[in-house]
Amino acid sequence: MPNPKASTRAELDRQILDQARAAPMAPRWVFTLQGWTNYVHEVIERPDLANFAPAGTPVLSDDARLRYHAHLRLVSHPAFDRALLKAHRLLLANGNRREGLMERAIDGPPGTGKTFLLRVIGRDFQRSVEDRYPDDEDRIPVVHITAPQDPENVLNWVWEIADFLGLTPAPKDLNELLQPRRTPDLSQPVWRVMEMRSTQLLLVDGLQRIHPDQLVPFLLYLGKLREKLGITTIFCGTGSRTILQAAQDKAVHAGEVMKGLSQRAPVLTDNGGKEHRLLPQVDPSRLPVTWLDPIPLYAGDQETWPKILRSFEDDLALHHLTPHALVSEAKYLHERTGGYFKLLSQLLCQAAMTAIEEGSEDITRGLLEDTEIGG
């Protein structure tokens, strides 16, 4: 445990680094039911500066303000706001019908906040369900998985869901752990648990790692979940729209369904006496897609990039933050991050923590330039 009376910056830095190596701070991950539930109910409130020692007082790595600034908070973001409203309406429509349910994809370049948006959609939906059914603690409204390491076998996809639900058997000992695992078929247990626990939303991340052919068997499984349990799936990943389109097309044409339809398709005769069958058409592009781009910066515009910076300013908990510290550096911050939400968040979070640790309690151009985020 670091000594709170450390008198020099070097001593404090050393203690911080020693503690970080011994016990790095990390959030409980969201691909388990308990971790996801913790995320859904997590409340991140801006610390009251009146409750903290004045600027220049040495802080430790578990300081509440450091932990607060390490979080990626949802700030006012026009693209996110639009996406949340669209997801809300989709889930509302799907939740009130027995057929014709739609899925959704979140796509865009890496670093634009796709995974963050996916989880916020799931979090907000689960909170709304819990508000409607406050006495039903057995519900599991949302399941969150990522693409498996080996996506060739549909059982590995099902295993990811089962792992979230706590259905996967843990290894009994080290020898069993080291043995090649033969994935059991947990399709039916997963089905029954999701049915009994009223699951309505499945979040699937990491689609950028998947070839369309690897997704086809899982899409067929999801089709049954959608048709029989009313479960909506939201996919996420760079290129997810193209991957899903190709996989859906393959899934529809893979079996005998299209062959049977084509044999029963009506026949028309043209003016030349030639017969033509009206074959069913597949249009995977009907899948709704939320596309996230880097945040733009327009001359004279105050509703996109500057508004986001103002939201970050309002969230900062620094003793001596200069008024408009971020907005005044709007052009520099955009040039530095390219408008990518991930880079902006990392830059500002790290700068804020440095300002607290070093006692300046302000974010300046020099501090921003000294903060490394790659590129």
Q: Report pLDDT digits (tens) over 28-47.
A: 689 999 999 999 998 888 88
In which band, very low, low, confident or very high, does the pLDDT at 215 lie, cut at 50, 70 and 90? Answer: very high
Asked if 144 and 205 count as a contact pair (C-beta separation under 8 A), the reply is: yes
Phi, psi at residue 201, to the nearest 5°?
Answer: -140, 130
Which residues are within 8 A (CB) of 102 and not within 5 positions of it... i.e. 6 or more apart? 90, 93, 94, 232, 287, 288
Decide which of 60 and 291 is more confident: 291
Instruction: Find the DSSP H helices in the chain.
Output: 9-22, 33-41, 64-70, 78-94, 114-132, 154-165, 174-178, 187-196, 212-229, 240-254, 257-264, 305-315, 330-337, 341-358, 365-370
What average pLDDT does the segment 149-169 reach? 91
If we measure between CA atoms, which residue out of 191, 202, 197, 193 comes closest to residue 125? 202
pLDDT at 131 over 90: yes
Task: Give the pair of three-digit tokens for residue 149.
Answer: 């390491």
Can you give the pTM of this predicted structure? Answer: 0.82
Please give the share of the chain, as a percent, with pLDDT higher than 70: 80
End-to-end CA distance of the chain: 35
Higher pLDDT, residue 33 or 50? 33
pLDDT at 274: 63
Q: Is the pLDDT of residue 174 over 80?
A: no
**pLDDT at residue 284 in the model:** 43
369: confidence class by pLDDT, cuts 50, 70, 90? very high
pLDDT at 281 exceeding the cut of 50: no
Q: What is the pLDDT of residue 45?
A: 83
**For residues 47 and 353, what is the distance between their CA atoms, to the nearest angstrom?**
14
- Domain residues of the chain, as ranges? 9-75+295-370, 78-166+184-255+280-291
Tell me which of 178 and 234 has the higher pLDDT: 234
More confident residue, 162 or 302: 162
The yes-or-no verdict on residue 264 having pLDDT over 90 is no
- Residue 27 confidence (pLDDT): 57
Half-sphere exposure of 135 (CA within 13 A, CB side): 0
- 267: confidence class by pLDDT, cuts 50, 70, 90: low
The pLDDT of residue 59 is 80
Reduced to 3 states (helix: H, G, I; strand: E, B; else coil), residue 204 is strand
| pLDDT averaged over every residue in the chain | 84
pLDDT at 14: 63
What is the distance, to the nearest Å, from the Cα of residue 152 to the centroid of all Cα atoms in its chain?
Answer: 23
pLDDT at 296 over 60: yes
Picking from 72-86, 223-237, 289-303, 329-343, which range would have the lowest pLDDT averaged per residue? Answer: 72-86
Confidence of residue 261 (pLDDT cuts 50, 70, 90): very low
CATH topology of domain 78-166+184-255+280-291: Rossmann fold (3.40.50)
pLDDT of residue 222: 92
Q: What is the pLDDT of residue 360?
A: 92
Give the residue-averaged pLDDT of 301-324.
Answer: 92
Residue linked to tokens 């597949």: 282
Average pLDDT, integer, range 80-104:
89
- The torsion angle over the Cα atoms of residues 341, 342, 344 and 348, rounded to 10 degrees, is 130
